[in-house]
Amino acid sequence: MTILDAKRSNVNLVIAGLLLGLFIAALDQTIVSTAMGTIIKKLGGLDKFVWVYSAYMIAMVVATPIFGKLSDMYGRKKFYLTGLILFMLGSILCGTATNMEQLIIYRAIQGIGGGAIMPIVFTIIFDLFPAEKRGKMMGLFGAVFGISSVFGPILGGLITDNISWRWIFYINVPLGIVAVLFIMKAYHETKNTRKQVIDWLGAVMLTGFVLFLMFGLELGGTDGWAWSAGKTIMLFVASALFLIAFLYVELKVKEPIIKLSLFKNKIVTSSMAISLLYGGVMIAAASYIPLFIQGVFHKTATQTSTVMIPMMLGVVLSSQVGGRVVSKFRYRDVMIVSALMLIIGTSLLGFAMTNDSSRLIISLFTVVVGLGMGVSFSLLNISTLNAVPPQYKGTSSSLITFFRTIGSALGIAVFGAIQKSSFQSSISEVPNLSPQLAEKIKGGQALLDPDIQKQMGLPADVVNQLLGHFADSVIAIFQWAVILPAVAVIFVLLMGRARLELNKGGQQGAPGAPGKPGQQGEAAKSNPSYQGR
């Protein structure tokens, strides 16, 4: 493991380099959404477009824990820079793609880079700052993560409409170069020359588990891949077998990618579970609220992308507040407020929002969701990193990203199935709609494109009825989504009385325990970066 050399490092430049890296990596999870229609028109491949999203997400999920472990073993700097370079390479290639197959492959390269960037950012912040300052900084970085994830569709629409869809990828390059220069110049580590062993077998098993799981989630319910089909079930069976093999390997090897004993700590386990559940809620709001606005108000994707700005502001505010109050209250007390806000927000979207709701009312509902969501971006990283020894910081930080991304993948698959089922069951009431056309419409998202409406040759009143049913099917998603923050409350309560304890010198208390003021945990004692601050 390498340790931050605080005397030689320029903290301000390091922060700037980390903020830029986190911004572009999180941005590219969502920036393609509003550009996708234009990309399909230019490159074709309508039947493959979902993999433009999936390739990035799958590659990132696979890479995240591997790079987190490597950063624990060989240092943060080299793998953060590796991630940035891979991400920029993938971005350049995406911008030059001439067909959908190329774009999908290049997005996977981007995803590998993003899988290195995101977890290492939060680990470096932990290394840079003493305990009493980490909350404020985690709040700042959590806000940037939330902003970029939600801001992606807005920026994607603006760039596509005013410049070219290719620039939604090229824009990453100058920002990435600046980040690389800042980190190379300003971030320094002291090296530990102890020989270490990489768990390659565990990496292969983890990759197999994630790949088959994500393929099952993405393909399930599509043409030829019914959820009950044998080949769909086999994907999930293969995923389960790889997971069992991975767990077995991790229990046997000397340097596992994920040290399973970390999950004996209730703070770690609770934080991961909450991250997974919140990931599902976040993807539901970010993906389906703009679609609801399109369906109800008959706007284009670019015009409706701004609907997420109020939610973004809520995320920013609560992330900042969560980071600042974490040193004053127990994790449980802060997160219970967050979970209750999220329950209220999703309940408003599911039971108070209707086709007649104004955009102002919908925006207010999304603000409540953002206020509930944002706290998690800062607090869960703090609770996890303060609960584990220094040699597992990178691994633990990567797991937060890992579980949040898996939660998003599960959420988009499950909620997508709910939406399609609700829509298909309701359109039987629409007159003059043949079964063949009903099957072609599927989940109703095709109706949001005016060109496709014309191709179908449907009367305007029928289109309006179908869009009304589509909006109702989106509301059904949030009626089910309430379950996720409700379950999260259970894991919040399991956090017990744990808190971030500070002594007079500003060091953390015993990790994951109630602790006594002034008492230092082993993690604090053994981390030289805390000293002399």
Coil, strand or helix at 442: coil
- In order of 27, 58, 308, 322, 513, the CA distances from 375 in angstroms are 19, 26, 17, 5, 21
**Segment 60-87 mean pLDDT:** 89
- In order of 15, 255, 277, 292, 309, the CA distances from 260 in angstroms are 31, 11, 20, 41, 39
Residue 510 confidence (pLDDT):
36
Q: Which residue has the higher pLDDT, 58 or 246?
A: 246
Lowest mean pLDDT among 136-145, 201-210, 240-249, 504-513: 504-513
Tokens 């890479």 — which residue? 63
Please report the DSSP string for 180-228 in residue order.
HHHHHHH--EE---------HHHHHHHHHHHHHHHHHHHHTTBTTB-TT
Tokens 């043949």 — which residue? 434
Asked if residue 416 has pLDDT above 50, the reply is yes
Tokens 């943060």 — which residue? 76
Lowest mean pLDDT among 25-29, 223-227, 513-517: 513-517
* 216-230 pLDDT per residue, tens: 887 777 777 888 889
Measure the CA–CA gap between 317 and 341, rounded to whole angstroms. 13
* 376-390 pLDDT per residue, tens: 988 998 899 888 888
Asked if residue 123 has pLDDT above 70, the reply is yes
Per mean pLDDT, which of 40-49, 265-274, 438-447 is the most reliable?
265-274
Measure the CA–CA gap between 143 and 150, rounded to whole angstroms. 11
Residue 199 confidence (pLDDT):
85
Residue 341 confidence (pLDDT):
96
Asked if residue 233 has pLDDT above 60, the reply is yes
Instruction: Count helices and strands (H / E) in the chain.
Output: 21, 2
- Report the phi/psi class of residue 164: left, alpha or beta, with left for phi > 0 and alpha for psi in -120 to 50: beta
pLDDT, mean over the chain:
83
Sign of CA dihedral 235, 405, 392, 270: negative
pLDDT band at 152 (very low <50, low <70, confident <90, very high): confident
Residue 507 confidence (pLDDT):
41
Could you tell me if 27 and 148 are in contact, meaning their C-beta atoms sit under 8 angstroms apart?
yes
| Cα 91-93-94 angle, rounded to 5 deg | 65
* 476-494 pLDDT per residue, tens: 999 999 999 999 999 999 9
Asked if residue 257 has pLDDT above 80, the reply is yes
Measure the CA–CA gap between 472 and 416, rounded to whole angstroms. 13
Coil, strand or helix at 399: helix
* 320-376 pLDDT per residue, tens: 888 888 888 999 999 999 999 999 999 999 999 998 899 899 999 999 999 999 899
Q: Is the pTM of this model over 0.95?
A: no
| Cα 68-410-469 angle, rounded to 5 deg | 145
